[in-house]
A and B are shown apart, each in its own frame.
Chain A
Amino acid sequence: MQSELRQFGKGMAFLSPWLIGFIVFTLIPIGLSFYFSLCKFDMLQPPRYIAAHNYTDLLHDKTFWQATSNTFYYTAMALPAGLLVSLGLAMLLNVEIPGRAIWRTIIFMPSLVPIVASAMVWMWMLNPRLGLFNLLLGRLNDILPAKLNFPLPPWLGDPQWAMPTLALMSLWGVGNAVVIYLAGLQDVPVELYEAAELDGAGLLGRMRHVTIPMLSPVIFFNLIMAIIGALQIFDIPYIMTNGGPVHKTYFLSMYLYDNAFVYLQIGYASAMAWIMLVIVLVLTGVAFWTSSRWVHYQGK
């Protein structure tokens, strides 16, 4: 009994930095945020309790719905595309080819670039008149017959194209996920491939019956990370489009930021933060819930 208490004291002592940090920088802020979400509060006057009014107001707020649907639209494009591209790249980079280390480095490098710097480069690349994109596509169009010509939209300046362009751009930074997949691929026992080959499985069959199931825990991890990442996207649209054109790239995180720090509607913004948290929890929850059906853990 005595020693158990001592152990507990020792454990708490070592955990204390995190415990204090958790209380001050996570628990209290989250609690406050919930309280504010039930109040009218502008930081100048003390908060006034208004029950669930902020939440019901949000339901009638067109901008909120647009920001939410924009966020989902982006997630629906960037998430599957990112998963497919990173997995595909990892499989390609796992093949024994000359110069593999170099190719791996090149694919990984963009994910090192500070977000602001990559926003700058892409704004310049996507510049409708002077950017590299339209230059190269224009050259290609000169060669191709008129029927096969690529459209040369103003990319981020076009209401229809802006969001797909942001999703496309996100594929440049999949390097992290690729490295994680590569590590996972190295753990797949070679015997499994050989056994599958004996059963007459081709390249695709081996991928479907060996690689994907064996990699599923890693895919699951990357999926969770990608969900959280896509739903909280802020820096890139804030710098590159500032939500435009006509609010077509205006995300939940940006509407939250504007309400909190521009319009000073603290209560309203807090309610939005809670809705965002619930969205993330529900989506990751669904991923966890379905995971028992498709994630295979090897061994114990």
Chain B
Amino acid sequence: MSTLPTDSPQMLEQREAAIVISAIPRIRRRRRRYPHRWFALLAIMLICFGYLMPFLWMISTSLKTVDKTTSFPPQLIPHPAVPMNYWSAISSPKADFPLYTRNTLLIAALSVLGTTLSSAVVAYGFAKIRFKGRGFLFVLMLSTMMIPFPVMMLPLFIVFRFIGDHTPLQMLGTFKPLWLPAWFGSAFSIFLLRQFFLTIPDDLSEAARIDGCTEWGIFWRIMLPLSRPALAVVALFSFMWAWNNFLGPLLYLQRPQQYTLALGLQAFQSAQGGTDWNLLMAASMLVMLPVILLFFVAQKTFIQGIATTGLK
């Protein structure tokens, strides 16, 4: 009942005192905290300026002419400003960014669809069906999250090669290794969805079961529609992951026509050997922008999703 472990006399006294204090008008307590607050505000403004700096420097450089990027001392505010840089980056002969965008979107779409669907199915099994061995399998699944990707990359590569050699499904040099595993659920998404399913009471599904609804029907027609917010979190995260993934495409994609944006941006940088920083920054901005925009559109989903990962 009580939040304090034991009710010793002193503790009772303290608790009473706390109640008395909290009855004192708010203003007095607030005023006492003022110095902290102003100090915090000043500190956070300075820090935020530091955190913003790379963004500002990126925007500034992306609008400069080439010779202004190398002039000393560097300009902070570009003059003349050249928004055309963005178009030059998009249409650069050294990199086909529209094609990379299409590749990335294709991989991302297939990953999002696969992760969301399959993880929801598996999470339903973990959350709503009681069977022997469930606890063990759940712990097993969580522990796979601890395996670093560099440990898996080589044997995975060999498995994909093996599948390509022994079945008609060509794997290496195609997009498949990048999206196919998503269709078998991701441990993180399964965990997230399971936590959400657990919060949905069983009454509804019981009622449906009495009406003769199958387990799949309960999942598909009752659970999924109720879980839209959680599904949105999973979809969003898997999109971000696919969009940002660098090592995966580096391993599995061989021809420049297949590059994703992450890989293409790096190729663009090494192709021009450290010159044309204005175009490179413009290209980086373009790769970054969709993610930032997505964040502002779905801010709540993002924050809630991240916050739930750390709890429970």
Q: Which residues of A contact B (CB under 8 A)?
A: 4, 7-8, 10-15, 17-22, 24-26, 28-30, 32-33, 36, 43, 89, 92-93, 95-98, 103, 105-110, 112-122, 124-125, 129-130, 132, 135, 138, 172, 176, 179-184, 187, 189, 191, 194-195, 198-199, 203, 217-218, 221-222, 224, 228, 231-232, 234-235, 239, 252-253, 256-257, 260-261, 266, 269-270, 273-274, 276-277, 280-281, 284
> Which residue in chain B gives the minimum CB-CB distance to A97?
B41
Give the complex CA separation of A130 and B308 in angstroms: 42
With A32-B158, A253-B150 given, is the CB distance from A118 to B247 under 8 Å?
no
Which of B74, B219, B261, B299 is in CB contact (< 8 Å) with A130? B74
The A/B interface has a contact count, at CB < 8 Å, of 282
A260 touches B310 (CB 8 A): no
Distance (Å) between the CB of B79 and the closest chain A CB?
Answer: 16
6 closest Cβ pairs, A-B complex = A21-B184, A14-B125, A29-B155, A180-B310, A183-B307, A11-B131
Q: Which residues does chain B contribute within 8 Å of A43, judged by CB atoms?
A: 158, 161
B311 touches A183 (CB 8 A): yes
Which of A11, A109, A115 is in CB contact (< 8 Å) with B292? A109
Per-position contact with A for B150-187: 1 when CB-CB < 8 Å, else 0?
A: 11111111110100000000000000000001011101
With A17-B122, A183-B310, A270-B154 given, is the CB distance from A124 to B277 under 8 Å?
yes
Q: Which residues does chain A contribute within 8 Å of B121, judged by CB atoms?
A: 14, 17
Distance (Å) between the CB of B252 and the closest chain A CB?
Answer: 11
A29 touches B18 (CB 8 A): no
Give the complex CA separation of A224 and B306 in angstroms: 15
B311 touches A11 (CB 8 A): no
Which of B36, B74, B154, B285 is in CB contact (< 8 Å) with A273? B154
Per-position contact with A for B241-266: 1 when CB-CB < 8 Å, else 0?
A: 00110110001000000000111011
With A22-B144, A112-B292, A252-B150 given, is the CB distance from A14 to B280 under 8 Å?
no
- Interface status of B8 (Cβ within 8 A of chain A): no
**B280-297 CB contacts (< 8 Å) to partner A:** 280-281, 283-285, 287-288, 291-292, 295
Q: List 22 A-B contacts (CB under 8 A).
A: A10-B215, A11-B130, A15-B122, A18-B122, A30-B152, A33-B154, A92-B47, A97-B40, A107-B48, A112-B295, A116-B244, A120-B265, A124-B58, A130-B70, A130-B74, A138-B73, A179-B307, A195-B14, A203-B36, A231-B148, A274-B151, A281-B146
